[in-house]
A and B are shown apart, each in its own frame.
Chain A
Amino acid sequence: MDGIKVLHTGDLHLGMSFAGSKLPAEVGRVRRQELWETFDRIIDTAKAEKVNLLLIAGDLFEYKYCTVSDIKRINDRFARIPETKVCIAPGNHDPALSDSLYNTCRWEQNVHIFRKSRVSALRIEEYNTTVWGLGWDKDCIADPLLESFRAKDDGINILMAHCDVVPGGSVSNYLPVYHEQLAGSGVHYAALGHIHKGGEIKQGGKKVGVYCGSPEPLDFGEVGTHGVYIGTVGRNNCGVNFLPVAKREFVTERITADPTGDTATILKSMEERIKKYGQANLFRFSLEGGTDPGVELDTAYLERTIEAFHIEIKNNTFTGYDLDAIIEEGQRSIMGAFAARLLEQLDGESDPERRAVLERALYIGLDALNGRKVMGR
C-alpha cells in the first residue's frame, strides 16, 4: 500500500454550551444540534471516502455537558464505519479523567483512545502504520510531553495530540509542543487539535503538523470557513487537504452608523453583507461612529427586521455632542460644568470599566440635561 487514507478532525465540542460565545440559549440549542449534524457529516464522509483512519485530535465532546446517551450516539456513528479505525486523543475539554465517559462507557471495537498523557503507540499491521498519541488525563498540562518523542523508522508514522504548538521554551498550560519537536518527531503526519482556527504549522518552510480546527465554528472568534482534513498519508508523500464541512460561518462586520440615525441606510449595508455571506450564517454587526444629539438607533428594530440565522448588533455609536462647545460654557452653565467634570475624571481614569461608566454617565447626563428621555443601551 502506498499510503493510508485518513480523515483528521477534532474540536467538535459536542454538547457544548455557547454561554461563553454569548449566543442566546435558543441559538445555542440549534447549534448544539448542528454540531451533531456536522459530526454525522464527518462520519458519512469517512464512510463514503473509505477512510482507513479517522483521527480525532481531542475535544470530541464536552466532559462537562456530555451524557451517557451522547456517548451512545457517538458510538452508534462509529459503528457505522466498522472498516475505519477511529483514533481519539482526548483534549482539555474531554480529558480522560477516571470518571470521564471515555472510561465509564463502552466504546466500539474500532475505536482506540489514547487515555494517558504519555505517548503510546497503536500499531496497525494491516496498514504498516503506527499511530502515536497521547491524551489529556488531567485538567492542566504544562510540561512539553513530546520532548523526548521520536517515531521509529518503519512504516507510516502518525502523531496525534491535542496541544498548543508554541515556539521552543514557551510556557503554556495547554500541553506545549515546540515547533522543533514536531519537526524532529519523524512522523509523516501530525494530527493536532486545540486551535479552532485550524491550519498547517510550518517550521523552516516545511509542514510539521496540521491543526484540524473546529469543523463547526463555535463563536465569533472563529470566523471563516471550517472543516476537516482528509487525504492520503504515505512515507514519501502526504496529500491531506482541507475539506469544508461546517454548516454555518460566523461573520463579524463593522458598520458606520448614519449620523442622523437613519436605520434604512444601516439596514441596507447590513443586508448587503448578509447577501454576500448568506443568511444561514451568524452575524455580529458593530455599529460605530457618532450620531446627532437626540438620535437613538433602534437596534432592536434592526435585529427584528434583518433576516438571517442569527444577528447581533452591538451599538457602539455615541451621540455626537459638541463637547468642546459645551465645555467652553464651563461653569456658566450646568451642562458645561457637568461635561467638564466628567471629562476631567475621564482624563485621569485608566481602568477601562470605570471609563466605560464615566463615558456612559456623560451621555446620560447630557441627554437628560437636554431634556431627552434617557435611553438604555
Chain B
Amino acid sequence: MIIKELYIKSFGRFADRSFKLGDNLNIIYGLNETGKSTLHQFLEAIFYGFVKPGVKRRVMTDQYDKYRPWTGNLYGGSLVYQIDGRLYKVERNLEKGRESVRVFDGVSGEELTGSLGYDRLRREVLFAREHLGLGQAAYKNTVSISQLGSKSDADLVREIQTRLGSLGSTRDASLSVGRAERLICEFLDGIGTERAQTKEYGRLYRKAAELEEDLEEAATAVESVRVSGRQLREMETEAAKLKAERERLERKVRACEDSTLLDRWKGIKRLMEECESLSARLEECSEYRGFDPAESGELSTLGQLADQDRRETQRLRSKVEETSRDIEEAEARIAKAKDEGLVPARSRFKAALGLCTVSAVAVLGTSLMAASSGNPSLNILLVPLIALFFYLMVRVVRQRKLLREREGALRDLVTERQYMERYRKDLLYSLSEKERDLADRQKGISEILKGAGVGSMEEFRDKTAGFERYTRLKKCLEQTEKMLEIRLDGENPAVLKESAKAIVEAAAAGGTVTSGAIGATEIPAAITASAQDRRERLAGWKKRLQQIREEEVRLLGSMEKIRGGMETLEKATSDLPDLEEDLSRARDRLRQLKLEREAAGVALETLREASDGVHREFAPALNRKVTGITSRITGGRYTDLRITTDLKILATAPETGRRVEAQVLSGGTVDQLYFALRIAASEFLSGDRKLPLILDDCFVQYDWHRLENTFAYILEEARERQIILFTCHDRERKVAEALGGVYNYLILE
C-alpha cells in the first residue's frame, strides 16, 4: 500500500489542506505544535474512525473531541492510496451523527463501499481490515510506530501469535487461527453467559432461576396445603363435635320452648275461653245494662226502716196487748187481795182487838178488884188474865201487822196497776208514732219503685242484682281480656295456635320437633320442670348455645379461610409438575449449553496451545527476521535474540555475554530492538501487502551512530515500502542526506 494523498477537510488545526506523499521515504518536518501528531492521527482516523476499539458498541474515543474543528466545517477528509497498482479513495466524515465512510475507485470514481465488510454493531465499514489486513491495535503497533514502548501490546501479542500459526502452515494456507478463534468466540458469544440476558444461556439461566423460585414457592405451597389439610381435619372433628352439642342443645331448647309455648298457649286458650264464656254470660244479662240502681241504697234503707217500723209496731201492739192483760190480771189480783186478804184481816184484827180490850178490862177490873179487894187470891187469878192479855195483845199486834201488810200489798198492786196503765198509755203513744213513720216510709218506697219503673221491691232488687251481675261480669271480662292481652303481648293468637298445633301434631307423630329427636329422659325433664326451673335451665342452655354458635362461626370462618387459602395454594400445587418439567428442560439445556461452552473453551484453549506450539516451531523465523533487522540497525552489536511467545525480547548483552530481557538494556537499544520487532511483526502480519511504515519521532533517543545504522536500513526498506517519518529534528533529513537517500520532504508550519 502506498498512501498517495491526504486531503483534510477539517481536522484539528488543519482545514482544507492536502498533502501529497512520495512512494518511498517521506520526511515530514515540523516543530512541536505544527500538526505532526494531527496528521498522524488523521491517517488513523480515516482508516479506523474514532470508534473505541474492542467495544462491541459504537463508542467514541477521547480523540474525537480533541480534533473536532470549531469552525463548523465538515469534520474529516479523504485519503488516496494505491494497492497492487489500483487507486482507492476513502472519504470519511467524522462528525457524530453524520459519520460516513465511502470508498471509491481512485481512477473511475466508482463507489466500492457496498462491496466491503460492515460491522453492524459499531457501524463501521471494514475497508481498513480489507486493505491493511490489520485491526486497529495491530495498525498502531506495526504500521504506525510512535514513541516506542518497551513492551508489546497484549493485542499485538495475540494477533502475532495467531498469525504465526497460519504462516507456518504449508497445507492449510487458508487456515486462520484468528478466524477460527473468532468463530468459536462468536459461537460462545451466541450461547452467552449467566449475565447476558439476551442470549440463550442467560435467558435459560434466568428462566431456571425463576422456575426454581416458583418451584420453591410451589413446594412451600404444597407443604402449606399439607399442614392446612391436617388443620382442617382437626377442625372438622371439632366442628362436628360442636355441631352435635349444638343440635342437642337446640333440641333441648326447642323442647323447652315448645313446652313453654304450649303452656302459654294453654293459659291463653283458657283465658280466651273464659272471655268467651264471660261474653256469653254478659249477653245473657244484657237487659240489665240500662238499669239504674242509684236509689237502691235509699230503697234498701227505707225498706229496712219500714221493716223495723213494722216490727216495732208489731212489738208495740203485742206489748200493749200484754200490758192490757197485765192490767186485767192486776185488777183481778187487787180484787182478790181486797176480798181474800184485807177484809178477813180487818175482821180478825177487829176481833182480836175486841178480845184484847175485854181482857184488858178484865185484868184492869181484877187488878182493881184485887187492889181493891186486896185479896191475893185475886192476884193469882190476875196472872192468867195478864198472860191472856199479853197473848191477846201479841195477836193484836200480829193481826195488825198482817193487816198492815195486806194493806201495803194492796196498795202496791194498785200502784202497779196504775203504772201499767201509764205504761200502756205510753205504748199506745209510741205505737201511734211508729205507725205514722211506717206509713211515711212506705210512701217513700212507693215513690222510688215508681221512679224505677218497677212494681215491687222484689222486682227492684232483682233488677239491681241483674245489673250488678252485668257490671261484675263486664268488669271480669275486661280484666280477663286485659290479662289475655298481657299474656299475648302483641302476638297473634291464631299464629300461636298454629305453632302449638304444629308442636302437638309433631309430638303426636312421634316427630322431630320435640320429643322425637331428644332423649326420652330429657323431654319430660324439660317439660315437667317448674317454670322457674325451666327458665333457669333454658337460660343456661341458651347461653351455652350462644357460646357454641360463636365458636362454630369462628371455627367455620377459620376453616373457610384455610379452605380458601388451600384453594389458592392448590393452584400453585397443580403447577408443580409443569414447573418441574420446565425446569428440568431448562436445566438439561443449560447443561448442554454448559458443555458446549466448556467444549468451546477447551477448543479455544487447545487452539491457542496448538498455535503456540506452531509458533514455537516457527518462532525461529521471527527470531531470524528480528535478529537480521537488529543486527543491521545496531551494526552487528546484537546478533543473538530470542522472541518469547508473549513477544518479549531476550538479548545477549555483548558486554557480559549473558542473556537478558531487552528492558535492562540502554533506552536507545531497547527502542532499536522493539523497532526491529515491530517491523518484523508488521511483515508477519501484513504478509506481502507491503504496508506503509509511519514513524512518529521514534528516533529521539538514538545517537548519530544508531541513527545512521537505522537509516541505512530504512532507506533500503523504503525501496520496497512507503515510509512516512514525522520528526521535529533536522537530524533525520541530515542522516538521509548523508547516506545519499532519496526522500520526499515536507515541512509543517
Contacts and interface: CB of A to CB of B under 8 A. Distances in A.
A25 interface: yes
Interface in B85-104: none
Contacts of B582: 24-25
B595 A357 contact: yes
A28 interface: yes
B191 interface: yes
Interface string A340-377: 01100000000001001111111011011101111011
Contact of A25 (B165, B183, B585, B588): B585
Contacts of A369: 172, 175, 177, 180, 607
A360 B599 contact: yes
B225 A68 contact: yes
Contacts of A25: 577-579, 581-582, 585
A335 B603 CA distance: 11
Nearest to B563: A68
Given A24-B581, A333-B171, A361-B600, A64 B576 contact: yes
Interface string B583-619: 1110010001101101111111011011101100100
A329 B180 contact: no
Contacts, number: 170
A27 to B, nearest CB: 8
B602 A357 contact: yes
Contact of A19 (B172, B577, B595, B611): B577
A362 B603 CA distance: 6
Contact of B581 (A19, A105, A376, A377): A19
Contacts of B584: 19-20, 22
A338 B169 CA distance: 13
B532 interface: no
Contacts of A24: 581-582, 585
A177 B710 CA distance: 93
A32 B577 contact: yes
Interface residues of A, number: 51
A156 interface: no
A305 interface: no
A373 B183 contact: yes
B570 A104 contact: no
B621 to A, nearest CB: 14
A88 B191 CA distance: 50
Interface stretch (B226-234, B263-271, B371-379, B393-401): B226-234
Chain A's interface: helix, strand, loop or mixed, by majority? helix
B496 interface: no
A331 interface: yes
Contacts of B592: 377
Given A68-B229, A360-B599, A369-B175, A16 B614 contact: no
A170 interface: no
A329 B165 CA distance: 14
B614 A337 contact: yes
B226 A372 contact: no
B617 A334 contact: no
A299 B174 CA distance: 31
Contacts of B168: 332
Nearest to B606: A341
Contacts of B574: 67
Contact of A374 (B184, B222, B225, B577): B184
Contact of A67 (B570, B581, B593, B596): B570
26 contacts: A15-B577, A18-B577, A19-B580, A19-B581, A24-B582, A25-B581, A25-B582, A64-B576, A68-B229, A68-B566, A99-B229, A104-B226, A104-B233, A333-B170, A337-B614, A338-B607, A342-B606, A357-B595, A364-B184, A368-B184, A369-B172, A371-B179, A372-B183, A373-B186, A374-B187, A376-B596
Task: Across the A-B interface, give the 6 residue pairs with the lowest CB-CB distance, nearest first.
Answer: A17-B577, A360-B599, A19-B584, A374-B187, A337-B610, A361-B602
